[in-house]
Amino acid sequence: MMFDVVVEVRLRAGIADPQGATIERALPALGFDGVTGVSVGKSIRFSLQAADESAAHAVVTDLCHRFLTNPVIEDSEISLHPAEVAAH
């Protein structure tokens, strides 16, 4: 069966995030106040063919560790649900 997968890759706490810091510094000049703690990560979406949900989860976890993240500086969060079958 098919699964829709979203992997969010974020920098670990304490790792410098210059992209987020730049956004945060720029916002007051553009008239946006009250925005703090900006962090920028990646979101990777794909479809996965797997036997069941636990098999899919195992594959995605492995993929994250080996390929999609740098585990020294990045964390990943997986969300996964069965693909909706098109109505027609």
Would you tell me which residues interact with a copy of itself (CB under 8 A)?
Answer: 8, 10, 20, 23-24, 26-27, 30, 32-50, 59, 62-63, 66-68
Calculate ∠ Cα 36-41-46, nearest 5°.
Answer: 140
Residue with the two structure tokens 């007051």:
28
Q: Which is nearer to a copy of itself, 50 or 78 (CB)?
A: 50
Q: How far is CA 50 from the centre of its chain?
A: 20
- Least CB distance to a copy of itself at residue 63 (A): 6
Closest to a copy of itself by CB, 15 or 26: 26
Q: How far is the CB of 88 from a copy of itself (least distance, A)?
A: 19
Taking the complex as a whole, the smallest distance from the CB of residue 33 to a copy of itself amounts, in Å, to: 8
Nearest-angstrom CA–CA distance, 68 and 64:
5
